[in-house]
Every structure is written in structure tokens, then in C-alpha cells.
Amino acid sequence: MTGRLLSIFLILAAGAAAYLLFPYNLAFLTRILIMIVLVLSLDLILGLAGIATLGQAAMYGAGAYAAGLFAIHVWADPVAGLLAGAVAGALLAAVSGAVLMRTQGLTLIMLTIAVAQICAEIANRARGVTGGADGLRGIRPGKVLGLWEFDFIGITGYWYAFAVMLLVFLALAIIARSPFGLSLRGIHESPERMVAIGVSVYRRRLAAYTMGGAIAGIAGALSAQITQLVSLESFSFTLSAEALIMLILGGTGRLYGAILGTVIFMAVHHVAAANDPFNWLFVIGALVLVVVFFLPRGLVALPVSLKRLAKGGRHAGT
């Protein structure tokens, strides 16, 4: 319990410090927070349950469009919008997962990419509803909890996203230690054994995938409300791939790896991509290869890896 309090305190302190140090970059900091929520959702699915996916953007996009449309047509309340995003993400994950969770390996990875592409295609065709390639515009979220209006400097947006991120982090920290979380780790380690102790692995994986979908949907909803725009890019392969890279960079299965990886990745991106997106591809390509070959367990394992290296051992593969 003290560990949990300490991590909450550290995250709060980091959030406040970032706010004070970079008051003119709040939009960027908020993007990081949204990305952290997405990467956390991936950590539940991939880090805990071991479900390899390259299509997390599907649920992110679904959440974004759902929250955007909800705000335009139903109710502008941001918290209700988050809920709409979560429901949309969970629904998409449950429906697609019903098929996807029966497959594994290459087929699974490929189908997760395909689902995101289908979503993008549908959003593109349904121009009348989604705005197609122009994106969904005209989202005007109301006051957060009826108290705080979204301001153009982004102060409300920042703290709103921060609060959502912290809540998601805490919920996942609780789930990770729960019997359900333990069973997901069990499935990750040995699905055969899980069946042998009487568990329907398919149903457990589907439940995890759906939960991850809800959280990705929340991330999408946040982005729709704060940027007041949803574009087809929300479904892009690049977004799924980058989320995966951030997670692996930080280290899987430990939640704070997701935070660390996202912050570092986004910071490097900010610097490297400032002038030319293609240069950025050089940086990210090289970064990924470095992580795979030299840091297979991510930055959170760096101290251990260094110690092993000092002892003259080989790097730890997984």
C-alpha cells in the first residue's frame, strides 16, 4: 500500500513539475498524457495477457469518433463523452476479439492490423457522419464536471487528461494485482497450463481485450475532446506501431514502463520530427532496432541489464 501511495505521489509531482516547467507546451504535454492512456491499455493486453496486437488504434479511433459524435449530437458533457468512448472501444474489442482471440501468432497480428484498416475505411466512406478525410469537426465539449471550461491555453485540458490518466493507472494497478490480473499473467506464461487448471483461456483473453479496448477508447475520447477534432489518422497503423514501440521501450507488464516509454518516445519525437517527418522515421527505426537488440526488456530493466553486462553476461533475451 505504501508503494502505491508513493507512486501516486511521484506521478502527481511529475505532473505538477511538467506543468510548471513547460507552461507554453501544455498542448504537447497533454498529447503525452493521452498517449500514456493508450499505451497503458496496450500494457494490459500485451504486457499482462501476452496478446500480440498491432491494431490498438482501432479502439482508440472508435472511442474518438464515438466521443466526438456524442458531443456533437447528444450531450457535450466531457465525462459522459469519455464513457461513450469507453463503450465504443469495448464494443469494438468484444466484437472483433470474438474472432481474433481464436487466432494467434502471425494471423492474430495481421488481423489486428486489418481491423484497424477496416475501421479507417468505414470512417472514410461514411463521410456524412464522420466528415471522411476532412475529419470530424465541430466538437465543443462542455465544462468538466460542470466547473472547468476548456481554455485556449490548455490548462483545463492538461489537468483533465492528467486526472483521467492517473485514474486509469490506478485502476490498472489494482487489476494487475487482482486474481484476474494474475490469471492473465498465467495465460501469458502458459496457456496450456491455464486450460489444465480449468480456465477458459479464450474467455479470459476476450475479457482482457475488451477491457483494453475500453481504455483505448477513453484515450481516443480524450483526444477528441481536447483537440476538438477527429481524423482518419486515429486508426492509422503508425499509431498502433508507435504505441507498441513506446511500451516495449519502457518495458512491458509493469505499468510505469508504459509511462516512462511514452514520455521518452514523445520527447524524442518532439525534437527529431520538428522539421521533417521522414528524418523521424530514421530515428524511430534505429531506436526500435536498438531496443530489440540491446534492451529487450525495456528501460525499466536497464539497471538489471547493466549489472549483467558488467558481470560479463550476455544480454537477457526473452
* Pattern 272-301, another protein, x by CB under 8 A: ------xx-xx-xxxxxx-xxx--x-----
Decide whether 22 or 282 has the Cβ nearer to another protein.
282
Question: Per CB under 8 A, does 308 bind another protein?
Answer: no
Choose which of 21, 73, 105, 314 interacts with another protein (CB under 8 A). Answer: 105
Choose which of 7, 19, 76, 117 interacts with another protein (CB under 8 A). Answer: 117
Question: Per CB under 8 A, does 110 bind another protein?
Answer: yes
Choose which of 19, 28, 237, 256 interacts with another protein (CB under 8 A). Answer: 237
Decide whether 148 or 237 has the Cβ nearer to another protein.
237
Question: Per CB under 8 A, does 8 bind another protein?
Answer: no
Choose which of 27, 166, 199, 272 interacts with another protein (CB under 8 A). Answer: 199
Question: Per CB under 8 A, does 183 bind another protein?
Answer: yes
How far apart, in whole angstroms, are the C-alpha atoms of residue 115 and residue 92? Answer: 9
Scan residues 11-70 and list those touching another protein (CB under 8 A): 46, 52, 54
Q: In the bound complex, what is the minimum distance in angstroms from residue 114's beta carbon to another protein?
A: 5
Decide whether 180 or 256 has the Cβ nearer to another protein.
180
Please report where in the chains the cell 517527418 appears, as a residue: 277
Choose which of 79, 109, 268, 299 interacts with another protein (CB under 8 A). Answer: 109
Kindly list the residues in this chain that would bind another protein in the complex (CB under 8 A).
46, 52, 54, 99, 102-107, 109-111, 113-115, 117-118, 121-122, 125, 174-175, 177-183, 185-186, 188-190, 192-200, 204, 207, 237-238, 241, 244-245, 248, 278-279, 281-282, 284-289, 291-293, 296, 317-318
